Amino acid sequence: MKLKKKSKMLRKQWKKNKDKEYIVGPCKWCEKEIVNTDSFVTFADKTRACIKCYRNSGHMLPFWDKEHSK
């Protein structure tokens, strides 16, 4: 009988680290770097904008803005 050797390869950890922060990309209007923990919008052409610039741009739909919809 042959004995199986233990593999030196590490086992995959299925639990992902939730505290990772990475740069998503620049804002479409203010060119500020957006991090994945910031609130942002992604458009169909894969460009991104921070919520602050998106609201000020006038592209925001009226029903989306809860503060001014009343």
Q: Is residue 14 part of a domain?
A: no
Q: Rounded to an integer, what distance in angstroms lies between the CA atom of residue 57 and that of residue 54? A: 5
For 31-60, what is each residue's pLDDT tens digit? 999 999 999 999 999 999 999 999 888 877
pTM of full prediction above 0.85: no
Q: Rounded to an integer, what distance in angstroms lies between the CA atom of residue 38 and that of residue 4? A: 49
Q: What percent of the chain has pLDDT over 90?
A: 47
Q: Is residue 16 part of a domain?
A: no
3-state secondary structure of 54: helix
Q: Is residue 37 part of a domain?
A: yes
Q: Is residue 33 part of a domain?
A: yes
Domain that holds residue 42: 23-57
Q: Is residue 27 part of a domain?
A: yes
- How many domains does one find in the chain? 1
Q: Is residue 65 part of a domain?
A: no
